[in-house]
Amino acid sequence: MPEPKMSLRKGSKVWVEDRDLAWVAAEAIEFVGKQVRVLTASGKKVLASPEKLFPRDADEEDHGGVDDMTKLTYLNEPGVLYNLQRRYSLNDIYTYTGSILIAVNPFTKLPHLYNVHMMEQYKGAPFGELSPHVFAVADASYRAMMYDNKSQSILVSGESGAGKTETTKLIMQYLTYVGGRAAGDDRTVEQQVLESNPLLEAFGNARTVRNDNSSRFGKFVEIQFDASGRISGAAIRTYLLERSRVVQITDPERNYHCFYQLCASGRDAEKYKLDHPSHFHYLNQSKTFELDGVNSLEEYMKTRRAMDIVGISYEDQEAIFRTLAAILHLGNIEFSPGKEHDSSVIKDQKSSFHMQMAANLFRCDVNLLLATLCTRSIQTREGSIVKALDCNSAVASRDALAKTVYSRLFDWLVDKINRSVGQDLNSRVQIGVLDIYGFECFKDNSFEQFCINFANEKLQQHFNEHVFKMEQEEYSKEEINWSYIEFIDNQDVLDLIEKKPIGMIALLDEACMFPKSTHGTFSTKLFQNFRAHLRLEKAKFSETDFTISHYAGKVTYHTDTFLDKNRDYVVAEHCNLLSSSKCPFVAGLFPSLPEESSRSSYKFSSVASRFKQQLQALMETLNQTEPHYIRCVKPNSLNRPQKFENLSILHQLRCGGVLEAVRISLAGYPTRRTYSEFIDRFGLLAPELMDGSYEEKAVTENVLRKLKLENFQLGRTKVFLRAGQIGILDSRRAEILENAAKRIQRRFQTYISRRDFISTRAAASALQAYCRGCLARKMYVAKRETAAAISIQKYVRSSLLRRSYLKLGSAAIIIQSNIRGFSTRKKFLHEKKHRAATLIQARWRMCKVRLAYQHRQTSIIALQCLWRQKVAKREFRRRKQEANETGALRLAKSKLEKQLEDFTWRLQLEKRLRVSHEESKLVEISKLQKIVESLNLELDAAKLATINECNKNAVLHNQLEFSMKEKSALERELIGTAELRKENSFLKSALDALEKKNSALELELVKAKKDGIESIEKLQEVEHKCSELQQNVKSLEEKLSLLEDENHVLRQKALSVSPKHSRPGFAKSFSEKYSGALGFPQIDRKPVFESPTPTKLIAPFSHGLSESRRSKLTVERHQENYEFLSRCIKEDLGFKDGKPLAACIIYKCLLHWHAFESERTQIFDFIIEGINEVLKVGDETVTLPYWLSNASALLCLLQRNLRSNGFLTTTTQRSAGSSGLISRVGHGLKSPFKFIGGFEDGISHVEARYPAILFKQQLTACVEKIFGLIRDNLKKELSPLLGSCIQAPKARVHAGKSSRSPGGVPQQLPSSQWDNIIKFLDSLMSRLRCNHVPSFFIRKLITQVFSFINISLFNSLLLRRECCTFSNGEYVKSGLAELEKWIVCAKEEFAGTSWHELNYIRQAVGFLVIHQKRKKSLEEIRQDLCPALTVRQIYRISTMYWDDKYGTQSVSNEVVAQMREILNRDNQNLTSNSFLLDDDLSIPFSTEDIDIAIPAIDTSDVELPTFLSEYPCAQFLVQHQK
């Protein structure tokens, strides 16, 4: 790649060519004549000419490369190569070159790059704003399609193994994400298209020299969209299938995969008489039959599954593989000369076998197939003439038939896939993704490589036009003159190949039409016509080979097989033969030919011409779309991660046209810098212009004029430099920096010398002072020793005298203390004995008194018990007499008899079910029968014993207990053989006992009518039986007593209710009401009307009002209640003393109306629907906080004052289909309006039924919904503010020189954007507190808002490289300081842990602004600087960081290597290893949290609204307030 001559000097950083690494970094050390000696990075000295050296920017090596090649200081081949290498080593596999995306295959999983969160980040983002990504290209194409209403195309190219298919999959995945699906199909378009990949790969991929799975056709996936931008369909177009591979391959290549899969299919292969591939001519031309790591049988099963998914029927699948087998047998047919001249016949018996098999598989006549291969019919005026074919012509006819069949089979598969995916014929816009084979250059290149490279030349011309157009758009956007820039294209190569009438394809077709033409005559004619063409050369060691200079380099083609591979005859006999096949599938591949086409026996068809036509159709499709380019690169041939082969990649960059795009850029203005970047780098060349009085554009122009540079262009925002000019600027900048460094070194050395002199002089003075001090200290020690000796003598004498005095004094004290202690102890013992005697006397008197008291108390209790027993018996006789008088008990007895019959029928049914269950146990039948017989004998004996029993109640009780034990044992499914026998024996005995008991109970119930006492005992037995059947419910004796008590209570209440409070209702007798409650069957029973208010359940026994009149009054009362509640919900009632009035009034009304004990949910549903309606139509900024306060208050009132009915809860949890006695008794036994005694906080606890509990759950969901809506609205308002806060605004050139030393204190102040955040938070806090939202909810909202700020800023920091700078870190840090001040002012009551929610962005920003990052170890970074961040996040920040202020470097290479090793190890273990943070959308509280956090609410003291007097149903509130 030529570049203008650079000005070299000693120490210049350059790139020099290397045989193994392509290019290596070097430094110029000396000049030898006209050459330069350079020192490479490996320490090797190389002598090179200046023309072969390229400039290198050493500053770019300090960071992880640039994300856009156009940002390179020196846009040249080695710069492009090593920028890709630096980014690839950091797992940044995507890089831009303008609008072109280069994707390097990582050969490892990088799931963090492709999750849904990453797609959301790139959705709608301007192209180039975020890091390079395939999603960015897909999003740009989608946005361009929507805005311009023009179809788009994405051209994915690269050699085999570069990741084209995976890239295509990611593009479709993203388009599916942003476009959705118009129809209701469960499978996405991406899934549908990708499901067809195994099928297309089996029939269209083959092994080549470079790749084991090379696509031998081009694929254009067209994703169609409707007018709203939703995916409405898709289609797959295939191009340029390599048909010649079916009949001719070279070693070590292979034929298409499907043939080898079929041969390895086992039974199917045997069915079609197939064997190892080495036995078939179309496969054994190469000795490679197996692929490493590929199991052909498994691949065959995958192909079969793909056919099932696509929708190919089993019959069609069999026909497809039968056709493939026929092609293989067809290839084994050999011919020998016949008896006649130029005729041919089947060679041998083996060929006859294969001929017969081919005919059988094609379902056609074998003789007709033979005649079709060995003869041709020629239509003349006189009639049809049959001409025999020689052996070579017969072989050519055989191969032509095989290619035609395979080609039509492939086209049928593609058409079937398109029908399965579903096309939208009405779609006007679409996005096409082209996946086609790349440029090929092998050691032996033949006709296939010629066609492939021709296609790539066409695409390269399209690519060049696009790149040149992008250059023009850039220049036009910046308003600079570009008219003189020359367009570079490859039209001459295309004219050489396809131009008529003497292009290479035309000459090849002409040679193919003459039977006696050979490749030699074709080559001779080729060289004669293009002797002087610059792009065509004759091969050195061959007379027939030729070399073409393609855009990617020179390729030599061998013409030996050109003519054979270009010939493709469409033989009418072949079509007629297979169209008459008995197989519908084969006949469908060959529809009947038109009459005029069938007259000619066969027509010559040129493969190259058809290839050219298909290519032209593809180019026309692409020209109608707006193109986007993705160049996939394979980093190494071993398919290993983190291995970068320079020579291979450089070759791919040339073949992919990337270097051609760079060459086009070099023809114009390859170096572009914004004015601020240019001044920041080269402003030091003219310091006199940096005083702030000049505009950036003027400063840039003056700097360039000062250096006498020409041909540069000044745009609106950028300066455009010609190739080489940036080198001159860097050279001059390096000189100024070198002089400045020398000046600094000179001053520094002066400073060191002066410092050494001063330190020496200070040392001499210190030595003198030390010597004088030593002499003075010696004199002082001598005098101090003399004084010390005198003092010691004085103190020794004093000590001896004092010691003798103290000894005498201590002896006297000891004697005195002993005498006093003896007398004191004697006195203490006397007093101790006196106290013990007193205590013993007191305990004895107390024991006597207690015994007398206990005896007397026992006697009193016995008398009380006897008296109470007498009173209880008297009361029992009175109640029994009362029950006989009312007749209620007799009616209950009759109902119980009917219930007993029902239970008898149920027990018989259960018996039959259990017997049928036992019969299913075929293995245990014989054993169980024996056991049953033995038990029957025992049972007879037990029956005789039972009849003589006096206590029938005990027998019945025991047998029922055995019955329940057997029932529970059977429900555990008879675990174990021994348990099974025992349980079955018990079950049989229990069932028989139940039959006897039922009959006995019937007799006893008849006697019970005569004898009251016996009837009560029978009822108790039935009650006990029912309780046992329904899992230990209370006995019927207790329930009947409860019924009597409640009947008495109801009568008293009914008689005591005054007419003023009475309400119309249905009068029910006790027997009717509770017989219904007990669930006894009744005939023609009318439904009981239940009102939500309990007062209507205890209406008096009034028969004065009609049924319709009572219903009408009830409906009117309901309507009035609903109107009042609706007004309370819709109007803003405000607050009093922080209490929400609406919640308090609604709760008091529900409590007064006894709605919590109702069986209906209408009033609760009305409240919930009303709140939801208000939330929909109201102003969200006002309505949502208001109802968050009211709904949470109402929820707290319900949570604290409602108690669930335990019995009701138990019954409602049972199966809805249960119709047992106890499930019906439950509603009758429990009073529907009970209050639990006891008061807490002055409010009674209401025993609520199921609808009230359900209402509480609905209210909880409503509170969570309101909280979520507020949070989502806050995030929507906050997102645009955060988008402008993540990056510091570009500062203008200020007067004076800014400090660039690390010690300088940053003077940046937070911009108005951070002030907007503060204002937003103040406004939020004001809205919430004005609506008296509890501090608990405010704390949760503020915490989630700060969590969202943390996530948004942190993710933007990791996605945008321009944000990972030192100055931007200072800017964000100053903004975070403002947020900290706000949190401190808001206090912990409302802010909570908001500051801790900013942990990630705080630590990331703190890492950006620290100095000397290279000295930090990985442990220090992880433990001290960024403990919350993962290694992947630290790695991302470290590799993206660049210091735009002081020029410092990121972490050391050793730390980067350690992190990369950890990441590679974690990639194998983690399912999701994204470096981005996910937003938590869960609700951060529960009902219990609300109950605990919100203080108690007193509803007694509330200010009532004025409209309350309008509603009679709410007058109780006014009366209560008075």
Q: Among all residues, which ones are annotated catalytic? A: 160-161, 165, 211, 214-215, 438, 440
Q: CA–CA separation, 316 vs 310, rounded Å?
A: 12
CA atoms within a 13 Å half-sphere pointing along the CA-CB vector of 1111: 5
Element (H, E) at 602: strand 602-606
Among the listed residues 239, 204, 203, the one whose alpha carbon sits nearest the alpha carbon of residue 222: 239
| Residue of 113, 73, 69, 123 lying closest to 93 (CA atoms) | 113
Rg (CA), the chain: 50
- The answer to whether 362 and 324 are in contact (CB under 8 A) is no
1231, two tokens: 């009073």
Distance between CA 403 and CA 241 in Å, rounded? 11
List the structure tokens of 353: 């076998």
CA–CA distances in Å: residue 923 to residues 215, 912, 913, 919: 62, 20, 18, 9
Whole-number Å distance between alpha carbons of 196 and 190? 10
The answer to whether 1458 touches 1488, Cβ cutoff 8 Å, is: no
Query: How far, in Å, are 969, 1124, 1518 from residue 1148 at the CA level?
Result: 51, 13, 12
- Answer for the pair 1419, 1459: CB distance below 8 angstroms, yes or no: no
Question: In the structure encoding, which two tokens stand for residue 1106, read together?
Answer: 């009609």
- Helix %, strand %, coil % of the chain (to 5): 60, 10, 30
37 and 13 Cβ atoms separated by less than 8 Å: no
Nearest-angstrom CA–CA distance, 753 and 745: 12
Residue with tokens 């008898």: 904
**Contact yes or no for 135/108 (Cβ under 8 A):** no
For residues 1487 and 1253, the answer to whether their CB atoms sit within 8 Å is no
Pairing of strands 429-435, 152-157: parallel
Listed residue (1244, 1380, 1242, 1379) closest to 1319, CA to CA? 1379
CA distance 1270 to 1283: 20
Q: Which residue has the tokens 């038109």?
A: 594
The DSSP 8-state label assigned to residue 1132 in this structure reads -
d(CA 348, CA 1313): 90
Distance CA 1194, CA 1339 (A): 20
What is the 8-class DSSP label of residue 68? B
How far apart CA 183 and CA 185 sit, in angstroms, is 6
Tokens representing 352 are: 């006859």
1498: left (phi over 0), alpha (psi -120 to 50) or beta: beta
Please give the C-alpha separations between residue 1095 and each of 4, 143, 575, 1149, 1236, in angstroms, as whole numbers: 102, 66, 93, 14, 18
Cα distance between residue 1162 and residue 1173, in whole Å: 16
Q: What is the dihedral of CA 1451, 1455, 1460, 1463, to 10 degrees?
A: -100
CA within 13 Å, CB half, 1031: 7
Q: Locate all alpha helices (DSSP H) within 1478-1522, ordered by sequence.
A: 1487-1493, 1515-1521
CA–CA distance, 473 with 715 (Å, rounded to integer)? 13
**Distance in angstroms (rounded) separating the CA atoms of residues 264 and 299:** 9
